[in-house]
Amino acid sequence: MTDENLTLETAKVRLEQLQTQLHQWATEYYQNDNPSVEDHVYDAAYQEVVEIEDQFPSLISPDSITQQVGDQVKAELSKVTHSVPMLSLGDVFSWGELEVWMQGVQAQFSAPLDYNAELKIDGLAISLQYENGKLVQASTRGNGTIGEDVTSNVWQIQDIPHQLSEAITVEVRGEIYMPKAAFLVLNEQRDRDGLAPFANPRNAAAGSLRQLDSKITKQRQLAGFIYQAVDPQNVLQVATQAELLQRFAELGLPVNRDNQVVNDLAELKTYITNQTARRDELAYGIDGIVVKVNVLDLRSQLGNTVKVPRWAIAYKFPAEEKETILREIEWTV
Ligand code: NAD
């Protein structure tokens, strides 16, 4: 949306304010696992940056929040350089934006596309390296290029197999989350111990995984879902996202079964409406739906930006307290 009142100069000042604030919130969220504002407040400010940068592309700098994945890694944890960057996801907040995204992707191909729709699990991204079927390394996304080594902690998560059912070498990626029930128990315990509660299950999961003492991770009852692999066509001999998920299950990896292949926007809307209605019944938090081009070979044609793949999008659920969204960061120009 173009703001007619903005000039290059005022846009620059506004961007600086927003960037400073967003980087501070990102540090609280990604590095300290302790956000001071709700996600929709962060999202609204982020969206304002996107709109200003769309209007004044010359103001986009490499250290803009829109050009970076996550934030810095915790100094106390060892570092892992990812073989292939771990990206974020672009997001949309309405049917209209979803339709525009689908049309843009479809326009790149002559044959009609299908998509795999999945729940967007509200946890933190993990990469798991299996060698000859054995789990040898686990790392967080970190800044997308360099993550934190959390191998000994991931060994404590019951859901994540130490050994696959086949002796293959593969890097898989997914989400570690804290089930809602475990989150309630943890915060009750913290209350009894006089400790501050975790803001939400996502931050509790991140705080529990990024620990120096894996005994603490063990007590926290984390769980996981795997949804991605590095080079899946060659390593796992699969052609689509739906087959990939099936293959993960055969290997003994935890897979969320609520995914569905959809052919068009109407089918996708039905899927999203149904899953949104079930949201409160689920044992874990979800913050949206992820839509992915189903045929893996087609993805390379779409590629990635520095931050997100172009072959997938997150449809985010509307915030529950909409009225507090608007203009949380006051202009001080
Ligand atoms: P994101 O969490 O919105 O989306 C990308 C991530 O989704 C992926 O990295 C992956 O880990 C995850 N994911 C879950 N299910 C998936 C699936 N089925 N398939 C693929 N990926 C799946 O993006 P982000 O860049 O990590 O974080 C942005 C979000 O974090 C925003 O929603 C923002 O509100 C929130 N945030 C909040 C604050 C705050 O202060 N409250 C600060 C920073 C970020």
Tell me what the pLDDT averaged over the chain comes to. 93
Q: 3-state DSSP call for residue 87?
A: coil
Q: Which domain holds residue 85?
A: 69-324
Is 218 labeled as catalytic in the residue annotation? no
Model confidence at 321: pLDDT above 60: no
Nearest atom (ligand 1) to Cα of 175: 11
Residue 137, domain CATH: 3.30.470.30
Predicted local distance difference test score (pLDDT) of residue 70: 83
**Average pLDDT over every residue of 52-58:** 96
Predicted local distance difference test score (pLDDT) of residue 329: 53
Query: What is the distance between the alpha carbons of residues 198 and 205, in angstroms, rounded to a whole number?
Result: 9
Predicted local distance difference test score (pLDDT) of residue 327: 46
Query: What is the distance between the alpha carbons of residues 175 and 226, in angstroms, rounded to a whole number?
Result: 6
List, for residues 239-290, the tens digit of each pLDDT value: 999 999 999 999 999 999 999 999 999 999 999 999 999 999 999 999 999 9
Closest C-alpha residue for ligand 1 atom 4: 89
* C-alpha distances in Å from residue 271, one per residue of 266, 274, 289: 9, 5, 9
- Domain assignment present for residue 293? The answer is yes
Look at strands 124-131 and 286-293 and give their pairing. unpaired
Check if 311 has its Cβ closer than 6 Å to any atom of ligand 1: no
Model confidence at 326: pLDDT above 50: no
**Hey, which of 119, 290, 292, 316 would you mutate to test ligand 1's pocket, going by the most ligand atoms within 8 Å of its Cβ?**
290
- Domain assignment present for residue 2? The answer is no
Cβ(92)–Cβ(101) under 8 Å? yes
Count other C-beta atoms under 10 Å from residue 207's C-beta.
Answer: 20
Predicted local distance difference test score (pLDDT) of residue 202: 95
Q: Which residues does residue 175 pair with via DSSP β-bridges, in sequence order?
A: 125, 225
Ligand 1 centre distance from Cα of residue 88 (Å):
7
- Domain assignment present for residue 246? The answer is yes
Q: How crowded is the C-beta side of 116, counted as CA atoms within 13 Å?
A: 23
Predicted local distance difference test score (pLDDT) of residue 1: 67
List, for residues 188-241, the tens digit of each pLDDT value: 999 999 999 999 999 999 999 999 999 999 999 999 999 999 999 999 999 999
What ipTM describes this predicted complex? Answer: 0.97
Burial grade of 330 (CB within 10 A; 0-12, 13-18, 19 or more): exposed
Predicted local distance difference test score (pLDDT) of residue 73: 84
Q: Which two three-digit tokens encode residue 147?
A: 């993550």
List, for residues 84-139, the tens digit of each pLDDT value: 999 999 999 999 999 999 999 999 999 999 999 999 999 999 999 999 999 999 99
**Average pLDDT over every residue of 53-71:** 92
- Domain assignment present for residue 95? The answer is yes
- Work out how many domains the chain is built from and give that number: 1
Element containing residue 153 per DSSP (H, E): helix 151-154
Predicted local distance difference test score (pLDDT) of residue 219: 93
- Domain assignment present for residue 17? The answer is no
- Domain assignment present for residue 74? The answer is yes
Residue 330: pLDDT band (50, 70, 90) is low
Model confidence at 182: pLDDT above 90: yes
pLDDT cut 90: percent of the chain above it: 89
Predicted local distance difference test score (pLDDT) of residue 33: 87
Ligand 1 centre distance from Cα of residue 102 (Å):
20
- Domain assignment present for residue 41? The answer is no
Model confidence at 333: pLDDT above 50: no
Cβ(123)–Cβ(115) under 8 Å? no
Burial grade of 146 (CB within 10 A; 0-12, 13-18, 19 or more): middle
Residue 74: pLDDT band (50, 70, 90) is confident
